[in-house]
């Protein structure tokens, strides 16, 4: 099914985390979203493991990604 109103459709969580890390860096991500996977020995693998098990953190990361995309289009 197509999801025309879902801007995250077709974008994998790994791509979201990788893009955010490349754009902001782990330190800034850890300041904005205070979770250990961003502050204590951060990696994409540990972040994905945590975010897949924690819906509230995943929502924050997805919202941050959408805000980053909006800023880039301005």
2: in domain: no
CATH code, 69? 1.10.720.30
What are 19-41's pLDDT values in tens digits? 999 999 999 999 999 999 999 99
Mean pLDDT along residues 14-18: 97
Residue range(s) defining the domain that contains residue 39: 13-73
At 42-68, the pLDDT tens digits run 999 999 999 999 999 999 999 999 999
- Domain membership of residue 5 (yes or no) is no
Are 60 and 33 contacting, i.e. CB atoms less than 8 angstroms apart? yes
Which distant-in-sequence residues (6+ apart) come within 8 Å of 38 by Cβ?
Answer: 26, 29, 30, 47
1, pLDDT greater than 70: no
Residue 13 has phi, psi (to 5 degrees) of -60, -35
Estimate to the nearest angstrom the gap between the alpha carbon of 15 and the chain centroid: 8
How many folded domains does the chain comprise? 1
pLDDT at residue 6, rounded to an integer: 80
């Amino acid at each position: 099914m197509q999801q025309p109103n879902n801007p995250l459709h077709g974008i994998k969580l790994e791509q979201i985390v990788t893009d955010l890390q490349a754009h902001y860096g782990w330190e800034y991500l850890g300041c904005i979203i205070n979770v250990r996977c961003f502050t204590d020995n951060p990696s994409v693998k540990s972040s994905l493991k945590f975010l897949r098990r924690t819906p509230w953190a995943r929502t924050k990361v997805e919202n941050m990604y959408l805000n980053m995309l909006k800023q880039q289009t301005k």
